[in-house]
Amino acid sequence: MLNGTDSATVKRELDQLLETYDDDGEHLLKELPLYILEVEKKIPTIFTLTGDVIEVEETFAAEECSASGIRSGKPNLRVVDAGKAVAREIDIAIDRLSRLQRFVLMHVPKEEDGNNFGVAVQGQFYSKLSKYLKWCDAIQDEGKSYHHSRADILRRMELDEKLEYRETVCEKEDKVTKSKATKTVANVPHIGDLTCYLARHDALQYFTLKNIMQGLISMYVHCYVYVKNNYEKIRWPRGRSEGLNMHMY
């Protein structure tokens, strides 16, 4: 008994769940070409700025990273929106990779001597999925560092106005008089260099995000080609046996 459920019921429910997992894995493998096309089509809609990194930097310097743009208190929305879109794609990829790993694990055969070439191929595919998962996790962790470093640049700019104090001492006929004056001054030291630095920082992040999307395409292409060439060894590492006999290609 398991929490009041008899073992036969548990086995039946587990078998149904495993069959669902198996169908899900087969579906993911078949959909790999579609994932490639999906990401490829999304890139121009996410990254609407054209030109190289210098041209994008100049666009940012004239708008989002100009002194007025910075004083607005808003982040660079082009970069922020692109970052959110890429983060969503990475989340989707993590989910797909995890489900593919589960599919592979479901078809790991009993360990025995001989006829292990297919098992090795299956293990290599699982290892590739694990490496891509680590890559996706690292990207999600690194996403927050952009905002942290950008905030540091903005703090160094010190764009807020400040009060300047001046004390005057006057000596006349053995009398000493003192007076104080204050005035508001714009604090803009090195503003030109810092705005250029900020624009370059944002442009590099923009292209980093774009390169991540290209990396996702390469990941899906790699998985697709590997599965296309090795599907039977992944699905039946020691040859076809009883059970699901669906063939992808």
pLDDT single digits (tens) 120-138: 999 999 999 999 999 999 9
**Average of pLDDT values for 93-102?**
97
CATH classification of 12-235, choosing from 1.10.10.10, 1.20.120.180, 3.30.365.10, 2.60.120.40? 1.20.120.180
Instruction: Give residue 87's Cα distance to chain centre.
Output: 4
* Banded model confidence at residue 174, pLDDT cuts 50, 70, 90: low
Question: Which pLDDT does position 159 carry in this prediction?
Answer: 59
110-118 mean pLDDT: 78
Average of per-residue pLDDT across 204-231: 97
- Cα dihedral across residues 134, 135, 140, 141: positive or negative: positive
CA distance 77 to 10: 51
The amino acid sitting at 45 is T
Residue 211: per-residue pLDDT = 97
**N-to-C CA span, the chain:** 43
Calpha distance 163→90 (Å, rounded): 48
Q: Which amino acid is at 232?
A: E
pLDDT band at 51 (very low <50, low <70, confident <90, very high): very high
pLDDT digits (tens, 9 = 90+) for 134-173: 999 999 888 889 999 998 888 877 655 554 555 565 666 6
Helix (H, G, I), strand (E, B) or coil at 184: strand
User: What is the mean pLDDT of the segment spanning 208-237?
Assistant: 96
Sole residue written with tokens 């292209």:
207
Distance CA 65, CA 163 (A): 25
Per the DSSP assignment, residues forming a β-bridge with 176 are: 171
Higher-pLDDT residue of 182, 78: 78
Higher-confidence residue: 1 or 87?
87
pLDDT at 194: 82
Q: Compute the distance between CA of residue 41 and CA of residue 37 in angstroms, rounded to an integer.
A: 6
Nearest to 75 by CA among 154, 170, 165: 154
Cα separations (Å) of 147 from 75, 113, 151, 152, 228? 9, 54, 6, 9, 40
Whether pLDDT at 11 is above 50: yes
Q: What is the mean pLDDT of residues 193-206?
A: 92
Sole residue written with tokens 């995890």? 98
* Residue written as token pair 């459920």: 5
**pLDDT averaged over every residue in the chain:** 86
* 18-32, 60-74, 83-97, 200-214: the lowest-pLDDT one: 60-74
Say what the pLDDT of residue 199 is: 95
Per-residue pLDDT at 230: 95
Q: What is the mean pLDDT of residues 93-99?
A: 97
Q: What is the mean pLDDT of residues 110-122?
A: 83
171 pairs with which residues across the strands?
176
Distance of alpha carbon 88 from alpha carbon 164, whole angstroms? 48
Give pLDDT tens digits for 52-93: 999 999 999 999 999 888 888 899 999 999 999 999 999 999
- Encoded amino acid at 141, one letter: D
Determine phi and psi for 187, rounding to 5 degrees: -100, 90
Q: Which of 154, 136, 149 has its CA nearest to residue 205?
A: 149
